[in-house]
Structure 1
Amino acid sequence: MICAVAVLPNPIAAPSGVDDVLLRGAEGARGVKGHFVSTFEQLGLSPTILKGLEKAGFDKPTPIQEKAIPLALDGHDIMGLAQTGTGKSLAFGLPMMDRLLATPGRPMPKSVKALVLAPTRELVNQIAENLRPMVQGTPMKVMTVVGGQSINRQIGMLKRGCDILVATPGRLIDLLDRREIDLSTVGYLVLDEADQMLDMGFIHSLRKIAPHLGTPRQTMLFSATMPKQMNELSGSYLTNPKRVECAPPGKTADKITQSVEFHEKGEKRVRLREILTENKDATTLIFSRTKHGAERMMKQLVAEGFNAASIHGNKSQGQRDRAIKAFRDGDISILVATDVAARGIDIPAISLVINFDLPNVAESYVHRIGRTARAGRDGQAISFCASDERDYLKDIEKLIGRKFDRPDWEPSEGSKQYARDARAAAGQGQKSRGRGGANAGGKPGGKPGGKPGGNAGGKPGAGRRRRSRPRKSAA
């Protein structure tokens, strides 16, 4: 059963010390001087950058670009808040490149002029791919350093110096520890997807990197959500920043049709096959909560005749790059991923996102479904919710300000398992297979013959103890 959703307001306060420059809606936005902005020429970019935009096919700035670029060109630190797929890479990249062109000169060996930090390899590659077309025909070079690739090759590359370096924090620290990179010349720092850096524990890595950075510098921080720790991050890295917001933090794209279906673990697999069969022509991204679950699901889908691949933390960087390329080129139509890919895939053709497992971090939901409805397109997101994932669903609803319509205890259609749980809870004595069900004579959620449930006709937990075999996950 696919349930309707209702949009609710989701206001959030700006961090202290941050000047608000708010932008609501995609049309009719005004520039910092109060004039309507409809072209890149009106933002004050140089002819060289404008030529690169024209070659790349960009003719109109997005809302986050309209507000961020003029402020960044004026030298302000920026805190940018925008949902995924809104053009954040160019919002910080264009003014950074424009200012670098205004101060010509080759970088010194091992040195870096501008540094962009991102939490995942996929996102690093995506940012670099967005920036490189803009520097064609200029002396500037965009380089990347990430884990999972030869560090010796990266050391050799950096010996010549770098104009713009896009990096993951972990590999950057490896290079610093080896004294193979000099960050004292960094005049521009960007922290992209800063909220995910916090989620992944990179705040400690940032603290190690900070003492090596040059001063004074311009710093820009971009994020799709606004966790409480962002105040600390902003206070540590930004100086009197201007806040640019094109949507409330945590808000999902309006062009995404979102729905939730209630199924227990075993039923999810059946329903997934139905959806994929019904949407054979759709470019589909499926999210699993675990690496092993993603790999197992991909192999099951391939065995069933679906054209699928997977990316997760156990894959090498080469394997992940090849899978994403095949997905982008249309060689495969289904990609199964963990949250490592939630912010690293920029493929406008993705029309369907399926959350096979709900994420246990609500912010991840925003980034997962942000892989569809990109570049102004429409998209669909379907989420499966098992009985033990209800709390995750509530957290997601609170974050995004959307209430998924659902009955109090049983969907009217679509989940026989939930109906079995309800009958068992009503005392009809039918054993439930799902988590949260009850054994006859035992407590809800109990396992036959073990704790905290009980054996039929006996006391809870009574009887001979048996070592239960771990259940296989349907993921």
Structure 2
Amino acid sequence: MAEEEKPLMFHEMELDDRILKAVAKLGWQTPTLIQEKAIPLLLEGKDVLVKARTGSGKTAAFAIPVIQKILNFKQTSMHQEIKAVILAPSKELCHQICKVVKDLTIKCSREVKCIDIAQQEDLTVQKPLLVEKPDIVITTPSKALQHLKAGNLNLKKSLEIIVIDEADLVFSFGYEDEVKQLLEYLPNIYQAILASATLSNDVKSLKERILHNPVTLKLEEPELAPASQLTHYHLKAEELDKATILYALLKLHLIRGKTIIFVNTVDKCYKIKLYLEQFGIRACVLNSELPATIRCHSVNQFNHGIYDIIVASDEKALEEPGNANQNRQIKSKRQKDKNSGVSRGIDFQFVANVINFDFPLDAHSYIHRAGRTARGNNQGSVLSFVSIKETPLLDEVEDKLKHCEGTSIFKSYQFRLEEVEAFKYRAKDAWRAVTKIAVREARLKEIKQEIFNCQKLKSYFEDNPNDLQILRHDKALHTVRVQQHLSDVPEYIIPETLKNITGISKRTKRKRNFNKSENKKFKGKQNNPLACMEFVGFKKKKVAK
């Protein structure tokens, strides 16, 4: 039998020692399949179209050869020049790519300089950064075009490499015109890299415009992680039942680990957050109406474990052309950032669970939401709540995925709602307490907080302290009243079938020291539990190791 081909290791790719040290510091012992195949081709200078599912390591697959080639250029070049431009459809993704590049250049940060100009809005603020001609510029297509037209960015003579990440989203984010104009500012010869999770018609169009005699790397892998790694559940429930079950699952620790809760609208983001806060469950929100700095900060807090739950709206599914539910698009006068994305691109780290509180509107959205978990070799689960109105969407997604996977992937989540009837009373009151006014005031509070933290307004407030005082002493917010007792779950409302699972043993007999008179009083109250208001607390039964 022929010997199996051994995988190519990082140290066998002729990479600079400084890159290898950075890779070792990141704990990457072996390259992923896409890295193993793509890095040698890119180091040879070939144009490459990379198609691999989310979580396969695409970012490092193009970042490592870009850094290596810049280090090679430094050996012969006498001048500091912009050698590489990396374009991504969202500001969060630009921030993420920049972090990966900086992690990989930690041992050669003086030689390879990288900046992310997708975050700041004012071109005049970014112009001095571009005057220094960093080696790598990371941005969105629209921001790159703005700087090119303003003369802040000149790529005709220096550019060697251009990368477009999440290429299948570039056109759907509305960047088609920007990309066409941007190509006019590029030199005649350059190396191009397209990275994408799918090979859509938009990617094929970009391929014809940007790539020259490319090598296409299409990994033969399913769009979703295998069933041994990712489990899919569905649970039929209406909205109040969804809220009750979510409360019970989180509070009884039936779902453990980092969790992303997906909804379909921005208002629902805040409603879920305010609802969970009443039970002492902390969560942060992520949506397209938040400023880029807050979005990136929220992702970082989630990744660093400050929050274990993030509530994200996935409005892109409502806006994509050709959607079967296009007639039901939500029209809003509120300003959204088209350079934002939630279900795609962002690297949420070590996510154990994805909960679809609102079922996604198509199979692609479901795939990309599910792709937030079970990344790398980690296990994950997806739980989708499905109302009666959402049942056709479930059937549509199940049919499409059954055709791709060859078998049905959904399992019915066994949950008896009648067993948590006591939870429903609490959930009903908490859910109704989150009114439209409460949601609006929560959003205003977040905007005010951003105003206070804005560095651009700091000098203005120093010159106009009265304006700052007016903001600080504005009317009181109509926030939802948080009742402290709701953060605790009394043992008597926990179903007997769940006590062992949640680690709460049956109530042990409490020992009390009564004198004769106290004991006589207590015996008279034993038959009426409501008459005895004294609460000592329940002790958990110790489990032998």
Q: TM-score, normalised by structure 1?
A: 0.73
Match of 1:286 in 2: 261
Match of 2:41 in 1: 71
CA contact (8 A) 1:80 1:221 kept: yes
CA contact (8 A) 2:257 2:351 kept: yes
The partner residue of 1:320 within 277, 295, 301 is 295
Say which is worse superposed, 61-70 or 213-222, in terms of deviation: 213-222
The partner residue of 2:117 within 132, 138, 145 is 145
Change (3 A) 1:406 1:123: closer
Match of 1:13 in 2: none
Give the Cα separation in 1 of the matches to 2:29 and 2:255. Answer: 33
**Residue 275 of structure 2 is aligned to residue 300 of structure 1:** yes
Match of 2:473 in 1: none
Give the superposition deviation at 1:180: 1.3
The 5 Å alignment of 1:372-383 reads 372-383=373-384
Give the Cα separation in 2 of the matches to 1:181 and 1:107. Answer: 16
CA contact (8 A) 2:232 2:410 kept: no
Match of 1:276 in 2: 250
Say which is worse superposed, 221-230 or 308-317, in terms of deviation: 221-230
**Residue 11 of structure 2 is aligned to residue 41 of structure 1:** yes
Match of 2:170 in 1: 197
Give the superposition deviation at 1:301: 1.5
Greater C-alpha radius of gyration:
2
CA contact (8 A) 1:81 1:247 kept: no
Instruction: Please identify which structure carries the higher helix content.
Output: 2
The 5 Å alignment of 1:71-470 reads 71-104=41-74, 105=77, 112-138=82-108, 139-147=111-119, 149-184=121-156, 185-248=158-221, 250-252=223-225, 255-277=229-251, 278-279=253-254, 281-339=256-314, 340-397=341-398, 398=400, 401-402=404-405, 404=408
Opposite residue 180 of structure 1, the aligned amino acid is N
Give the Cα separation in 2 of the matches to 1:48 and 1:181. Answer: 29
Change (3 A) 1:37 1:157: same
Opposite residue 263 of structure 1, the aligned amino acid is A
SS at match of 2:350: coil
Give the superposition deviation at 1:378: 0.9
Opposite residue 213 of structure 1, the aligned amino acid is L
Opposite residue 133 of structure 1, the aligned amino acid is D
Aligned-residue Cα RMSD (Å) equals 2.8
Change (3 A) 1:406 1:377: closer
Match of 1:427 in 2: none
Give the superposition deviation at 1:218: 1.0
Change (3 A) 1:413 1:336: closer
CA contact (8 A) 2:114 2:134 kept: yes
CA contact (8 A) 1:86 1:374 kept: yes
Give the superposition deviation at 1:106: 6.5
Opposite residue 125 of structure 2, the aligned amino acid is R
Change (3 A) 1:55 1:271: same
Output one character per residue of 1:248-292: Cα deviation in whole Å (capped at 9) or x when no partner: 463345522122222233332222222222346421111111222
Match of 1:431 in 2: none
SS at match of 2:86: strand
Opposite residue 141 of structure 2, the aligned amino acid is P
Change (3 A) 1:269 1:230: same
Output one character per residue of 1:295-328: Cα deviation in whole Å (capped at 9) or x when no partner: 2221222223211110111111222222222212
Give the Cα separation in 2 of the matches to 1:57 and 1:106. Answer: 34
Give the Cα separation in 2 of the matches to 1:412 and 1:374. Answer: 26
Q: TM-score, normalised by structure 2?
A: 0.64
Instruction: Return 5+ residue gaps in structure 1 as ranges.
Output: 1-27, 417-475
Structure 1 segments (4+ residues) deviating >6 Å: 410-416
CA contact (8 A) 1:149 1:317 kept: no
Give the Cα separation in 2 of the matches to 1:279 and 1:415. Answer: 14
Give the superposition deviation at 1:120: 1.0
SS at match of 1:273: helix
SS at match of 1:374: coil
Give the superposition deviation at 1:162: 1.7
Output one character per residue of 1:361-393: Cα deviation in whole Å (capped at 9) or x when no partner: 432322222222223211111122233334443
CA contact (8 A) 2:232 2:409 kept: no
Instruction: Return 5+ residue gaps in structure 2 as ranges.
Output: 315-340, 419-545
Say which is worse superposed, 343-352 or 296-305, in terms of deviation: 343-352
